[in-house]
Chain A
Amino acid sequence: MHEPLDVAAADAYLRDARCGGLNLFVGTTRQWTGTRETVELAYECYEPMAIKEMQRLVDEAKARWPIERVCVLHRLGVVPVAEASVVVGVATPHRAAAFEACRFLIDELKVQVPIWKREHYTDGTTEWVQGAQPPRVEGEG
């Protein structure tokens, strides 16, 4: 979605009487990376595959942890400094699983979901950020 992410709406959705733990991760645009100052980030996405990959990761998380509610949202287009680009939330009966599942989802999103960010620096330059390479799956390549 290209609009600002509604963290309060995500929180409200994740509230569940069966759950005692709710973990909400919000990723935001950072102003400084080392000595370079960022004005904004711009995100590009291969949308149908991104949706499929997010669903696959959610299915995998649900198979590993007792998740009652989950949300994964990513903003596209321009995201100014301090605004949210990604929201991942998990609600589980006990907190440990909520932390673990939320960490799993954001870490996997960052290597599997086909979304790319472009840095726009204050000096007028721009740069595509190349993410970490995922570990090679056996039989791949």
Chain B
Amino acid sequence: MNESHPVVFTVLLFSILREKVGRAAVDVAVPAPATGSALLDALEAAHPAVAPYRPVIRLAVNQTYVPESVRLTEGDEVALITPVSGG
């Protein structure tokens, strides 16, 4: 991976985030080194509607919950999970 260029991730959005942003998926360019929190910062800058939900968002990478400190790899499937309400 070339460290000098940002990496683009497709971020999946659901429920209220999908509605607030107006799309089910958005591409986000994350400066290297790409971490979960860098991705959230970049996403929030591009889509301010996400900001109010930042404290409750859990990050999922490749369909597993991960801490925001996670190091992202090109091609990772990233999803933002607001507090779930199944059942």
Contact = CB atoms under 8 A, between A and B. Distances in A.
B56 A44 contact: no
Interface residue SS majority, chain A = mixed
A44 to B, nearest CB: 5
Nearest to A43: B86
A114 to B, nearest CB: 5
Contacts of B60: 46, 49, 114
A19 interface: no
Given A46-B79, A49-B79, A115 B85 contact: yes
Contact of A110 (B18, B67, B84): B84
Interface in A24-48: 27, 43-46, 48
Given A48-B63, A114-B60, A141-B68, A131 B84 contact: yes
A22 B73 CA distance: 44
Interface of B: 12, 14-16, 18-19, 56, 58, 60, 63-65, 67-69, 79, 81-87
The 10 closest A-B CB pairs, nearest first, are: A115-B86, A116-B15, A49-B63, A131-B85, A129-B85, A131-B83, A110-B87, A140-B67, A128-B16, A117-B85
